[in-house]
Amino acid sequence: MPLRDRRAAKGIGDFLIDTVGEAVAEVILSLLACALLGGLALIAYLSWTFSPRLTIAGAGLLSLVLAHGAWRTFRTPTKGRRRGLAAVTAFGFTATAATALFLLLYATDCDCL
């Protein structure tokens, strides 16, 4: 087998490995997104069946925390670092935004719910 044939076979093999790897990663990420979406739906359902008033109050409090985190994240930075509540709410907002982006990208074609 000449050298160029070996290189061509190696190139085809690498391409197939990359393609299969990407397909497997896509399936795993989609399953993770479906599981996360199902878990969030289950938490909302169980919370509502336990106490609708407490669920609405909790959603309102979470909205205030996320709004404070967004405000702290996007406002003009002051001298020094964020401390205390500002750091916690900014982290909570960032984590929530990342989770929403993940669900937007991978759970849109989730037919499990």
Give 112's pLDDT tier (boundaries 50, 70, 90): low
Q: Summarize pLDDT for 76-107 with one digit per residue, the tens.
A: 666 666 678 888 898 999 999 999 998 888 88
Place of tokens 């490995």: 17
pTM for this one?
A: 0.71
Sketch the domain layout of the chain as residue ranges: 3-106
φ/ψ (deg, to 5) at 65: -65, -45
* CA 67 from centre of chain: 19
Q: Give the closest residue to 111 by CA, choosing from 47, 43, 8, 33.
A: 33
